Amino acid sequence: MSFARWLALLVLLLASVPGQALAQSAGQPLTVHFFDVGQGDAALIISPTGKTVLIDSGPPDARHRLEQRLRELVKEPLDLAILTHPHLDHLGGMSTALRSVGARRFMDPGFDHPSEAYRDLLNVVGDEVGQVMTPVPNPQDPRSLVTIGLGDGAALTVLWPRVPEDPFLTGTRSDPNSNSIVAKLTYGKTAFLFTGDAEPDTEATLLRKPIDLTSTVLKVAHHGGRHSSTADFLAAVKPQAAVISVGAKNDYGHPTSAVLERLRAVKATVFRTDQDGEVVATSDGNVVSLRAEKRGGASELVPGGVKPGSVALGPITRGTRRTSTPRGRGAASAPAEAPGTDSTQRDTDAPRYFSLKGSKVFHKESCRTLKRSKSDRTAYSSRAEAMRERRPAEDCHP
């Protein structure tokens, strides 16, 4: 199946519901649960039509707490599970969640990471999830953003990353963080911005794009760490409320006083899971009501304030690629990538990946299974390209 047909099918599957379900969901709100998972991130979106999206899953020590909440809130497999980036405080509970409630689709940035925990998760994804995807722009419309309909006008739009149209950010303070999935959830005049652990490089890249970042509620990047949530980025987002997912008395000093001050400067009402527990945000399309577990049930009402319509304000043009020069040694920007190229394709020493005819997995070029087989092979120029069609093989862990 071509990418365009596959993506169209995905959007249709997520956006469509039977007529009876539509009748039952009339007037239903959009709800976002920001779970209290300690020093990590985990949020569950429940659309007005009952579609569910899990964004991150917290650290390993919170996996049972997350599983309990998912079992209470989700009665069928998740429609989509998203891992914003392959760090343990975001992926630690994902395997348990997938085995417990299931998921029809899984998305991550496709950013290679050597951690054993990430490799193990991909094996579970291969066993438990029907479809695996990365937020790759439609090649027939590469200047657009990937948008997933969730029913009744609710939609989730992926703003970053956009490989191969925009190469991954490299040479940053933390490349996995900088290439976190950043997504905007819209419903009527309300919006939620999920930022993973996005870095200043990510924020600067988004600010250069013709994108409407305005959001009613901001999930603050990197647990309120001082490097993210720059003043320019917050000025563009204009959040009415901000949720910081953070562990009590953590070793990192999160959230930092600098970020809290910047949030106060834009007059955002701040919620913190370390102090407030789970935060539940409910939108009727005009107003968002936020209720914190440890605030005695009182709700904070904030106006939507978002202009309905497309998140992209124009064609999303190709950006520039940073070099991998270490920070502090004069890292500079390289010219924009040539059309149709991928930063991984430029390295002639980079590993190549292959799948065998009729197989659902892909292998490293050096894999013994690959060498033993005489079946026809399909070659992929990058791991991200292979992940769009296959899952990683368990014998060579590509």
> Are the C-beta atoms of residues 243 and 217 closer than 8 Å to each other?
yes
For residue 363, being part of any structural domain is answered with yes
Residue 59, judged by CB atoms within 10 A of its CB (0-12, 13-18, 19+), counts as buried
Query: What was the pLDDT predicted at 320?
Result: 53
> Are the C-beta atoms of residues 137 and 146 closer than 8 Å to each other?
yes
Query: What was the pLDDT predicted at 355?
Result: 83
For residues 55-82, give the mean pLDDT.
97
For residues 58-78, give the mean pLDDT.
97
Asked whether residue 148 carries a pLDDT value surpassing 90, the answer given is yes
Q: What is the pLDDT of residues 214-228, one digit of tens each?
A: 999 999 999 999 999
- Do 272 and 372 belong to one domain? no
Based on its alpha-carbon atoms, the radius of gyration of the chain, rounded to whole angstroms, reads 20
Distance of CA 259 to the CA centre of its chain: 22
Asked whether residue 191 carries a pLDDT value surpassing 80, the answer given is yes
Query: What was the pLDDT predicted at 367?
Result: 78
62-76, 149-163, 337-351, 364-378, range with the lowest pLDDT: 337-351
For residue 213, being part of any structural domain is answered with yes
For residues 329-343, give the mean pLDDT.
31
302-311, 330-339, 371-380, range with the lowest pLDDT: 330-339
pLDDT bin (cut points 50, 70, 90) of residue 295 is confident
| Alpha-carbon distances of 226 from 88, 202, 230, 258, 263, rounded to whole Å | 20, 14, 8, 6, 12
For CA atoms 61, 66, 68, 69, the dihedral sign is positive
Query: What was the pLDDT predicted at 272?
Result: 98
Asked whether residue 321 carries a pLDDT value surpassing 70, the answer given is no
Q: How many residues are present in the chain?
A: 398
**Averaged pLDDT score across all residues of the chain:** 85
- Do 218 and 298 belong to one domain? yes
Query: What was the pLDDT predicted at 386?
Result: 75
Q: Beta strand pairing status for 333-334 and 321-322?
A: antiparallel
- Do 7 and 80 belong to one domain? yes
Distance CA 198, CA 227 (A): 9
Query: What was the pLDDT predicted at 365?
Result: 81
Query: What was the pLDDT predicted at 375?
Result: 64
Query: What was the pLDDT predicted at 8?
Result: 45
For residues 176-182, give the mean pLDDT.
97
Query: What was the pLDDT predicted at 109?
Result: 97
Asked whether residue 5 carries a pLDDT value surpassing 50, the answer given is no
Give the residue with greater pLDDT, 372 vs 67: 67
Instruction: Output the domain CATH number for residue 253.
Output: 3.60.15.10
Q: What is the 3-state secondary structure (H, E, C) of the chain?
A: CCHHHHHHHHHHHHHCCCHHHHHHHCCCCEEEEECCCCCCCCEEEECCCCCEEEECCCCHHHHHHHHHHHHHHCCCCECEEECCCCCHHHHCCHHHHHHHCCEEEEECCCCCCCCHHHHHHHHHHHHHEEEEECCCCCCCCCCCCEEEEEECCEEEEEEECCCCCCCCCCCCCCHHHHCCCEEEEEECCEEEEECCCCCHHHHHHHHCCCECCCCCEEECHHHHCCCCCCHHHHHHHCCCEEEECCCCCCCCCCCCHHHHHHHHHCCCEEEEHHHHCCEEEEECCCEEEEEECCCCCCEEEEECCCCCCCCECCCCCCCCEECCCCCCCCCCEECCCCCCCCHHHHCCCCCCEEEECCCCEEEECCCHHHHHCCCCEEEECCHHHHHCCCEECCCCCC
Query: What was the pLDDT predicted at 13?
Result: 47
Asked whether residue 257 carries a pLDDT value surpassing 70, the answer given is yes
Which of 135, 130, 167 is closest to 55 using CA atoms? 135
Query: What was the pLDDT predicted at 363?
Result: 81
- Do 368 and 247 belong to one domain? no
- Do 318 and 355 belong to one domain? no
- Do 172 and 57 belong to one domain? yes
For residues 323-337, give the mean pLDDT.
32
Q: What is the pLDDT of residues 348-375, one digit of tens each?
A: 344 578 888 767 677 888 776 776 665 6
Q: Which residues contact 115 (CB under 8 A, 6 or more apart)?
A: 86, 87, 88
For residue 284, being part of any structural domain is answered with yes
Domain that holds residue 379: 347-392
For residue 362, being part of any structural domain is answered with yes
Q: What is the pLDDT of residues 97-142, one digit of tens each?
A: 999 999 999 999 999 899 999 999 999 999 999 899 999 998 899 9
Asked whether residue 336 carries a pLDDT value surpassing 50, the answer given is no
> Are the C-beta atoms of residues 26 and 49 closer than 8 Å to each other?
no
For residues 265-289, give the mean pLDDT.
97
Of the three residues 272, 287, 322, the one that is the final residue of a domain is: 322
For residues 61-89, give the mean pLDDT.
97
For residues 292-298, give the mean pLDDT.
84
For residue 257, being part of any structural domain is answered with yes
- Do 87 and 141 belong to one domain? yes
Query: What was the pLDDT predicted at 136?
Result: 92
- Do 32 and 134 belong to one domain? yes
Query: What was the pLDDT predicted at 14?
Result: 57
For residue 330, being part of any structural domain is answered with no
Of the three residues 305, 322, 339, the one that is the final residue of a domain is: 322
Total number of domains constituting the chain: 2
- Do 43 and 132 belong to one domain? yes
Distance CA 338, CA 334 (A): 11
- Do 309 and 353 belong to one domain? no
Share of the chain above pLDDT 70, in %: 80
For residue 147, being part of any structural domain is answered with yes
Of the three residues 284, 307, 322, the one that is the final residue of a domain is: 322
For residue 328, being part of any structural domain is answered with no
pLDDT bin (cut points 50, 70, 90) of residue 378 is confident
For residues 11-18, give the mean pLDDT.
44
- Residue 173 token pair: 């303070």
- Do 354 and 230 belong to one domain? no
- Do 89 and 218 belong to one domain? yes
